[in-house]
Chains A and B, each alone.
Chain A
Amino acid sequence: MFKRLLSLALVAGVFSVLLLVVSIPKLSVGVSVNPAEIAVEPKRPQLICPGPVFVNGGDSGLKLGNFTQAGQAQIQGRNDQASVSITATGIKTIDGSLAGSKDFNAIQSQRASLKLAAGLAVANCESGSNEAWFVAGDNSIGREALLVLVNPTKVDATVSLQIVGTNGPIQGTGLSGISVPAGKVTVLPLAAFAPKASTFALQVSSRGAALGMWLQQKTIRGLTPGGLDYVQASPSESKTVEIPGLFIRSTAKLAALAANDQDFLDTKPILRVVGNAKAEATFTAQVQGADGSSFGTVIQGTVPAGSVKDFDLGELADGDYVVHVESSEPIMASASFSRVASAQPDFAWAIAVTPKKLDAGFTTVSGAISKLSVTNPSDKAGKITLNGRIVSVPAKSNIVVTLAAGTSYQISSNVAVSASQVVDISSTVAVVPVLDYRSEASRIKVVIR
């Protein structure tokens, strides 16, 4: 038995050593193929501007079903060292001279006072894309959401839509196989796919050419136009969402209008949340004032998977806010608010902006009050440099910087921030994100197996 016990001890000892003592260092055998970094001649950059707003029936409003561009849009920007200033009556493309330069950017604006459209429509001119989510839109009575698809290339594009409503995806015919021919503009009234839907989000997928995509939202109360906006594509879903540029003004007037006429109820600020994950999203939205000068609010809510919901942001006092949303599941979100000076208000959709270390350029609209709303969601205080001027952005806070009209800016930051311009012309308002146009690298990594 002694020998047996000895053998047992031997085996136990060997295994103990193997389990507890022996540690084999990691060893990489063979050489993995590293990507070949290829220097490529950059694609000639191009920005697409949507031009003046689209109205049904033209200026007169008599040619129904025929969307034409009405009025003029002013385009300001920078192309290398040169300023860009164009008056556009249709879509406009701007060819850049340098690839990926922060000195290549443009913004267009139109203060419309048309029979069927009034308000401020401001949009960044964009390089084309094949995929976009729009977290905005209202097709209820007197509201019109148009999808504007611009194809400036020589290649046709075929577009598919997915519309998400309050009860989930909205099914319908004609959502796929939508042709956007080369060099043409296609305008789609979303009421055809989601009639009377006041709350929805839209995914656009393009195969073929990269398209310029915008959502044009318009309000008409009775026969009076009461608000206009170009909405840009939202970033992809995330568990944390930053929405800068929620600058609330004239709350008392708007409240009075809403009290007298229910058709003005949509002037209240709202938060639209899209639950695009597989599970229900529970979120907390903090509406945070800038520099401690205004107090926001906190709301909580849930959004079922695959649906969209609007949440009232409550009675926010006038002030400059950002919205910070944290969710249990990846979501997309944007906020809408209105301003009014006289009888008819204007509204704006502030879309989410993904925080990143900025090294970009942007231009402000001529003849407008422009302010830069910057939020720093990180735990680290940071700084932004704006045309050489350094501005501190405290951790988990936001700031507002007043901008000069018609000026091109270069902005950089040492922490990941989200920034949007808030543009105000005579109390008509628009919010456009600060974009980093330098997406195309001149060196590409390729691995061939």
Chain B
Amino acid sequence: MVKQVTAILVVHDESVLAQRALASIKSQTVSPDRIVVVDTSQNPIELGTHSIKLSSKSKLGEIVSAATAGLTPSEEHWFWLVHDDSEPKTNSLAELLDAVSVSETIAQVGSMQLSAENPRAITQLGLTLSPFGEPINPINRQLDQSQHDHVVDSFAVSTSSMMVRSDVYELVGGFDNRSPALATDFDLSIRIRRHGFRVVVAPRAKVVHARLSLSGKRQNGWLGGSTKTAMRRAAINLHLVHDPLPLALLYWLVLPGITLYRVFWRLAQKRPGHIWSELRAGFWGSFTLPKRLLSRANSGKASFRSLKSLRASWSTVSTHKRADLEAEESANSLAAFERGDHEAPLEERSKSFAQAGGWILAILLLALSWKLFPLSPALTGGSAIPLSGNWFELFARAGASWQPIGQGFFGPSDPFNWVLLTLGSLTFWSPSLSLVILVWAGKALAFITAWKALSLLTAKAWQRNLGALVYALLPAFASALGAGEYPAIVATITVPWLVYSVARAAGIGRRGSARSDARTWSWIGLSGVLLAIIGAAAPVVAILSLVGLALVAFTKIRRFGYLFWIPLPLAAIYLPLSVYQIFVVGQPLALLAEPTLGITVNSSAVTSLFDLQNWTHWSLALLIAFSVGALLVQRWVVALVIALFGALSYLLLTVTQALSFPADLLSARAGFTQVFTTGHSLAAFIGLVAVALSIHLLAALNRKAAIRISAGLMVLATMPLGFAAATLSPKVSGTDGTVVPLLLEKQAEQGTDLQLLVINKKDDEYRVELSSLAGNTLEDSNLAYRFSAELNAKSKNYLALSQVVGDLVSGNGAADGSVLKQNQIGYLLVPNNPANADLVAALESSSLLEGAGMTPYGDLWRVLGTSAEETPASSHSPWSITKAAQLMALLGFVLLAVPSRPKVRKAKDTAIFIDQSESELDV
């Protein structure tokens, strides 16, 4: 039976390409019966032939309708659709006709698409869907070696150079104008399939396709956004239109959840560029359901499931993704090579951490910390108090939400609580244990991170080992460890790691840049998380880090687009507290307050760095001498920048040492009203600068004798510090982690809103601590609460409670029991202290109280008329929108930071760009 073919050339703003396409159509070995040109260009193009002018916003269905107006659909009449960026080979039409002659059930046939840049490379040979419904182009970037030479069934074919039977086209309703642009071809093919016809590809019908739309070379208006968005919209559309109705509705219902999941999945894939597309497409899918349901009409009787055999298998999907990744990495490598990012000298191959004996030294540092060996589940003393034994309490106090502190308030928690939550989660059954381990392993961890950071300056393992050892043994760090200053410990461990990760993200240092976009994003994610941790632990160090980051960003301006995102997690966790301190409390400088507890003595900047009365600290003079020497060797500019950064750090240290803040939990207990910072975080930062300069000097030395002498001196500097670390008497000591008597702990576990008043006499003042029955633990330390305490102190409730306390401690019998009950005070505790003897006597005489016994924590009384059963815990959601946003930002960056190992084949052609010194610590 003779077939009639109407060639439809769709022209859209591409004059030159359209001329070629038309010429190609006209030069076919089998000429089409008629050629219809439809011009949707914004400015009509003159092709020397009649064309139908349509609006530039016309949908494909409208275009075909206009082109075939007046033509009678029949079994013999076929439409051949050609886009202006396509150039069919001369035998294309003949091959297409040949393919459809195989079977009468074939209603649509697609061509083999070849690359415009490399006409031997196949860019498409049929389309399919992944098991999850994602559009897949299964054959791409293959060289055409006639390996695909037979007509085969396909799930779908592209509209470019596609031929469709006119009657079937009419039967299925043609192109669905409601479909998003990139779903149109899939939708038509699926409808044809579901009406019982076949869709095939004819590999011998070849067309060179410039793929202007998919490569983003056309204006994206008709796609309704980026190609990524269009692809995701297509997938959503196909689910909603072709899945069975219950499944489609279920899909629509869970679409927001799926979108959220996919956002994080994209982060885990290190493809943050897809996030906006995912969100936009998800939003689109959620709000265009009626249109999708209308599109379900006339979609065919056969079930969508019956097409399963034509869909891509998991292995095909995996191969497809791997090929995409390879292509991306290859492109990135070439781009980096062109930029010169890989031109950083790799003078010598450096040893990995294990090869350099790093683990041995780390174990040695653990041994030096023998006095801090974790024998108890929690620490107390110095600045340390235990965390709550309940992980959920840690979670409740992280982020901006209801804070069950004091009588409870809605406000921001300390950003450091996110760090405590993370650490506590590592030993969720006993959250304090992670802090005990942290204090013990602190030196070893600082050694590891410093070792990595120093790899930016030197390849020599012994230099890295020595420098990292000095850093881990810095007196300021040792003091912080001994006193249980968790924020300073965390900051000291984290800062070198941040330096390293930012350098890797920016391509600074002797390691060069990351070898792929995904790896760069991984470094960005890690840098973001680390900066947030540092900011939470030591805000002043975060300021320095931001200054450093800005410096890096402007010197590596090409990386600005990446580095710009690093402060995002820091902003997420600090924004609520910033708003509170600036606009509610009116104290912007309060943002400089560290979450460290119990530091009441004001020290100078120098004493924060080292104790001049301790002879072991004098060995640091060698470090200073080395630092000075670094300014006289090669690459002195680098040394000068580092040294000036050190000077800036010292200036900030001096400034922060001059600031005092309202007393925290421990200081208030000790009777102080003001606290100062120890400056240990900044001191460690300055120490890192000195170590970096020293290693810079060592790395620049050429003469063996000079190197040997320098190394010897460095070892001499390290030994006294090691001795000091081993013999330091820690202020912290082990505890079982409880902070209140067992009776209260058990009642608190059952859930009650009852409060505990702890009264202590200090000089002529009575210091009262209000807490839940579980007592105040580390996560209850709250900067917002501290700085707003003065505001609370003016409240009627506060004054009424103060009056009751005054009456109780004076033993005058005038205390108003109703105030205690209104404030849900269930128990009073007077710590064991000779100064409290009169207090005990006064409380014993109160008719409002009954003795609950002597406990290891002091004398306990129960307030008569209250009980935990009658005061059950009220439900306050630990969540808020702000907290959810904070958590999502943090989790997003954590996912981004997690190193991914894509299944990329080791491409020989890109091996020259792979950094040979990546070690097992490389993340």
A28 within 8 A of B: yes
Interface pairs (9), CB distance under 8 Å: A18-B647, A24-B657, A27-B660, A32-B673, A32-B789, A36-B793, A38-B805, A40-B814, A448-B793
A366 within 8 A of B: no
Identity of the chain A residue whose Cβ is nearest the Cβ of B633 in the assembled complex = A4
**What mask results when residues 17 to 47 of chain A are scored 1 for a CB within 8 Å of chain B, else 0?**
0110010111111111111101111111000
Residues of B within 8 A of A42 (CB): 810, 812
Q: Which of A168-224 contact B (CB under 8 A)?
A: 205-210
Are the CB atoms of B592 and A29 closer together than 8 Å?
A: yes
Number of interface residues of A (CB under 8 A): 55
Are the CB atoms of B845 and A36 closer together than 8 Å?
A: no
Residues of A within 8 A of B640 (CB): 7, 10-11
13 more CB-based (< 8 A) A-B contacts, given A18-B650, A43-B811, A208-B840: A4-B633, A8-B628, A12-B628, A24-B658, A26-B660, A29-B593, A30-B590, A34-B673, A130-B837, A207-B854, A445-B766, A447-B766, A448-B769
Known: A27-B658, A131-B834, A446-B765. A4 touches B632 (CB 8 A): yes
Identity of the chain A residue whose Cβ is nearest the Cβ of B641 in the assembled complex = A7
A39–B805 alpha-carbon span in the complex (Å): 11
Residues of A within 8 A of B787 (CB): 30
Are the CB atoms of A32 and B854 closer together than 8 Å?
A: no
Are the CB atoms of B636 and A7 closer together than 8 Å?
A: yes
A134 → chain B closest CB, angstroms? 16
Are the CB atoms of B798 and A447 closer together than 8 Å?
A: no
**What mask results when residues 806 to 822 of chain B are scored 1 for a CB within 8 Å of chain A, else 0?**
11011111100000000
Are the CB atoms of A155 and B766 closer together than 8 Å?
A: no
- Stretch of B163-171, B223-231, B507-515, B662-670 that contacts chain A: B662-670
A401 within 8 A of B: no
Are the CB atoms of B636 and A3 closer together than 8 Å?
A: yes
Residues of B within 8 A of A38 (CB): 802-803, 805-806
Q: Which of B625-683 contact A (CB under 8 A)?
A: 628, 631-633, 636-637, 639-640, 643-644, 647, 650-651, 654-655, 657-663, 665, 668, 673-674
A224–B464 alpha-carbon span in the complex (Å): 89
Are the CB atoms of B654 and A22 closer together than 8 Å?
A: yes
Identity of the chain A residue whose Cβ is nearest the Cβ of B642 in the assembled complex = A11
Residues of B within 8 A of A30 (CB): 585, 587, 590, 593, 661-662, 786-787, 790
B841 within 8 A of A: yes
Known: A5-B632, A8-B628. A446 touches B806 (CB 8 A): yes
**What mask results when residues 120 to 162 of chain A are scored 1 for a CB within 8 Å of chain B, else 0?**
0000000011110000000000000000000001110000000
Are the CB atoms of A15 and B650 closer together than 8 Å?
A: yes
Are the CB atoms of B841 and A208 closer together than 8 Å?
A: yes
B831 → chain A closest CB, angstroms? 13
A449 within 8 A of B: yes
A347 → chain B closest CB, angstroms? 31
A394–B592 alpha-carbon span in the complex (Å): 54
Identity of the chain A residue whose Cβ is nearest the Cβ of B668 in the assembled complex = A449
**What mask results when residues 776 to 808 of chain B are scored 1 for a CB within 8 Å of chain A, else 0?**
000000000011011001000011011101110
Are the CB atoms of A129 and B837 closer together than 8 Å?
A: yes
A256 within 8 A of B: no
A256–B844 alpha-carbon span in the complex (Å): 54
A298 within 8 A of B: no
Select A445's contact among B606, B650, B765, B838, beta carbons within 8 Å.
B765
Are the CB atoms of A446 and B768 closer together than 8 Å?
A: yes
A381 within 8 A of B: no
B764 within 8 A of A: yes
A14 within 8 A of B: yes
B87 within 8 A of A: no
A440 within 8 A of B: yes
Which B positions have Cβ atoms within 8 angstroms of A?
Answer: 406, 585, 587, 589-590, 592-593, 602, 606, 628, 631-633, 636-637, 639-640, 643-644, 647, 650-651, 654-655, 657-663, 665, 668, 673-674, 764-770, 786-787, 789-790, 793, 798-799, 801-803, 805-807, 809-814, 834, 837-838, 840-842, 844-845, 854, 859
A26–B650 alpha-carbon span in the complex (Å): 17
Q: 3 shortest A-B CB distances, which residue pairs?
A: A38-B806, A130-B837, A24-B658
A444 within 8 A of B: yes
Identity of the chain A residue whose Cβ is nearest the Cβ of B797 in the assembled complex = A448
Identity of the chain A residue whose Cβ is nearest the Cβ of B837 in the assembled complex = A130
A386 → chain B closest CB, angstroms? 28
A24–B659 alpha-carbon span in the complex (Å): 9
Are the CB atoms of A31 and B798 closer together than 8 Å?
A: no
Known: A11-B640, A446-B805, A449-B406. A207 touches B654 (CB 8 A): no
Known: A29-B661, A130-B840. A40 touches B589 (CB 8 A): no
A4–B631 alpha-carbon span in the complex (Å): 6
Known: A40-B810, A40-B814, A447-B768. A207 touches B859 (CB 8 A): yes
A248 → chain B closest CB, angstroms? 35
Residues of A within 8 A of B650 (CB): 15, 18
A359–B766 alpha-carbon span in the complex (Å): 25
A408–B297 alpha-carbon span in the complex (Å): 111
Most chain A CB neighbours (cut-off 10 Å) among B406, B654, B844: B844
A12 → chain B closest CB, angstroms? 8
Most chain A CB neighbours (cut-off 10 Å) among B764, B766, B814: B766
B612 → chain A closest CB, angstroms? 13
Are the CB atoms of B636 and A4 closer together than 8 Å?
A: yes
A266–B24 alpha-carbon span in the complex (Å): 135
Residues of B within 8 A of A130 (CB): 837-838, 840-841
Residues of A within 8 A of B786 (CB): 30
A175 → chain B closest CB, angstroms? 16
Are the CB atoms of A8 and B631 closer together than 8 Å?
A: yes
A132 → chain B closest CB, angstroms? 10
Known: A447-B767, A449-B767. A209 touches B406 (CB 8 A): no
Residues of B within 8 A of A29 (CB): 587, 589-590, 592-593, 659-661
Known: A29-B589, A33-B793. A448 touches B770 (CB 8 A): yes
Select B651's contact among A18, A32, A36, A153, beta carbons within 8 Å.
A18
Known: A32-B673, A33-B793, A43-B812. A448 touches B661 (CB 8 A): no
Select A40's contact among B406, B590, B632, B806, beta carbons within 8 Å.
B806
Identity of the chain B residue whose Cβ is nearest the Cβ of A445 in the assembled complex = B765
A74–B639 alpha-carbon span in the complex (Å): 89
Residues of A within 8 A of B859 (CB): 207
Are the CB atoms of A27 and B659 closer together than 8 Å?
A: yes
A33–B769 alpha-carbon span in the complex (Å): 13
Select A36's contact among B647, B798, B837, B841, beta carbons within 8 Å.
B798
Are the CB atoms of A128 and B841 closer together than 8 Å?
A: yes
Residues of B within 8 A of A18 (CB): 647, 650-651, 654
Are the CB atoms of A32 and B636 closer together than 8 Å?
A: no
Identity of the chain B residue whose Cβ is nearest the Cβ of A12 in the assembled complex = B628
Known: A36-B799, A447-B668. A207 touches B658 (CB 8 A): no
Are the CB atoms of A11 and B668 closer together than 8 Å?
A: no
Are the CB atoms of B674 and A32 closer together than 8 Å?
A: yes
A39–B799 alpha-carbon span in the complex (Å): 11
Known: A131-B834, A448-B770. A25 touches B658 (CB 8 A): yes
B811 → chain A closest CB, angstroms? 5
Residues of A within 8 A of B663 (CB): 32
A3–B838 alpha-carbon span in the complex (Å): 72
Residues of B within 8 A of A31 (CB): 662, 790
Are the CB atoms of A444 and B810 closer together than 8 Å?
A: yes
Residues of B within 8 A of A43 (CB): 810-813, 842
Select A447's contact among B631, B647, B765, beta carbons within 8 Å.
B765
Are the CB atoms of A11 and B643 closer together than 8 Å?
A: yes
A42–B662 alpha-carbon span in the complex (Å): 32
A269–B650 alpha-carbon span in the complex (Å): 65
B643 → chain A closest CB, angstroms? 5
A226–B585 alpha-carbon span in the complex (Å): 73
Select B790's contact among A5, A25, A33, A209, beta carbons within 8 Å.
A33
Known: A128-B841, A207-B859. A14 touches B673 (CB 8 A): no
A112 → chain B closest CB, angstroms? 31
Are the CB atoms of B838 and A28 closer together than 8 Å?
A: no
